[in-house]
Chains A and B, each alone.
Chain A
């Protein structure tokens, strides 16, 4: 996908194959796009029958340049499902399942005309009401029945089993590191001791952050990049979004936006005030970052052992150090509200 001379020919041949009724197919423009964290992205303007359509190619990098492994087959299947369900996301239109045509296994999607969230904000656009639109976007994909999701997605046995596994990831991040990390153990124990009221498991985006959110021309939220999707607690994407927003403001779920978000989200999902409120969102802010933390710690450990020489691996440890201070502070403030929520939930049974 990175070969700029070869790819237009491949793309032309691909469309002649998948759209045999198209006449006079040509590739007007082909360029590599930035923004793909773990996948290759490219844009192709394809002309046929006197019209020009723009597509996005999203493919696997070579194995030795891959940051993490995720399945394109599952991602394509999921994109078709969320698109058919009416979720605002660029539709997946074609799939080169073997890489024979496009040089690597790749999904061909429609090109989004929406604006990425951070550039949208940087351009001076108003964010008023986007907290409510965010609730609608999350609820839209979480309403898809689990039974309709790809069979390849792991189904947790129960909410408790899911939470136990996620919380335990904090302990494992310490146990797998080059030195013991008592703060990680504290976070795990605290999360375990202050579990929120359960909620039905749903489709989880898995990397729901401002970089994967776009704003449509009519002010709605579009969601992109589903490669880390799975099945989990509905509040985890919300907490993760808030966690990333701390480092990349503005935070749509800050003091001004969180209550409005929670109210609209509860209205759409049927979850109650004990399940979804600013405190439970903050709980998942801490729980939800464990996947990222694990990756950063693995990078730092590999550097310490001389197994990689990526300077970013060292620099990224600074984020975790900063995070530790923030988590300890957050958990201190959350203890009492979470106890009150648990007491109210138990009293209501």
Chain B
């Protein structure tokens, strides 16, 4: 397969074309809004495509270290397998959240919060600047 341009580059390129060429040809307000929403989603997909599988593995290792539970590994590196595995590992983290609060151990709660803050930081990196186009 041709691996370059990368998926990240292709998606960002499509978004750029829509923004700079197609948008000026669009007449109706609802379609303009939809185009802006598509732009935001495409740019998020571009950022995800470049790092998604690595991010999932990096976070899973931290979850394993935090919970002390075996996290196993995905059946393959195909995305469906990786995300099915990530769901299982995320469930371990969800369980740990409940256990930390039930224990009343502030250090354990803080450790969970640190991991969630890191997860959220990556989500915000994917999101970029949120603009609620079409609202209000």
Contacts and interface: CB of A to CB of B under 8 A. Distances in A.
A339 B127 CA distance: 33
A325 B101 contact: no
B22 to A, nearest CB: 16
B105 to A, nearest CB: 12
Contacts of B83: 179
A247 B130 CA distance: 11
Contact of B113 (A180, A186, A193, A319): A186
Contacts of A332: 113
B116 A186 contact: yes
A321 B121 CA distance: 10
Interface stretch (A64-72, A77-85, A310-318): A310-318
A36 interface: no
Contact of B41 (A182, A190, A315): A315
Interface in A319-343: 319, 321-322, 324-325, 328, 332
Contacts, number: 77
B73 to A, nearest CB: 18
Interface in A107-158: 118
B127 A322 contact: yes
B101 A328 contact: no
B130 to A, nearest CB: 5
A182 B132 contact: no
Given A189-B101, A247-B132, A321-B123, A328 B87 contact: no
Contacts of A189: 97-98, 100-101
A181 interface: yes
Contacts of A182: 90, 93-94, 97, 116, 119
B40 to A, nearest CB: 7
B130 A322 contact: yes
Given A247-B135, A315-B40, A328 B120 contact: yes
A311 B31 CA distance: 12
Contact of A118 (B34, B123, B136): B136
Contacts of A179: 83, 86-87, 90
Interface in A188-220: 189-190, 192-193
B6 interface: no
A325 B123 contact: yes
Contacts of A98: none
Interface in B36-66: 37-38, 40-41, 44
Nearest to A315: B37
A192 B120 CA distance: 21
Given A180-B91, A185-B97, A192-B101, 5 more contacts: A181-B90, A186-B112, A186-B113, A324-B123, A325-B124
- Give the 10 A-B residue pairs with the shortest CB-CB distance, closest first: A189-B101, A180-B90, A182-B93, A180-B91, A185-B97, A185-B94, A182-B94, A315-B37, A179-B87, A322-B130
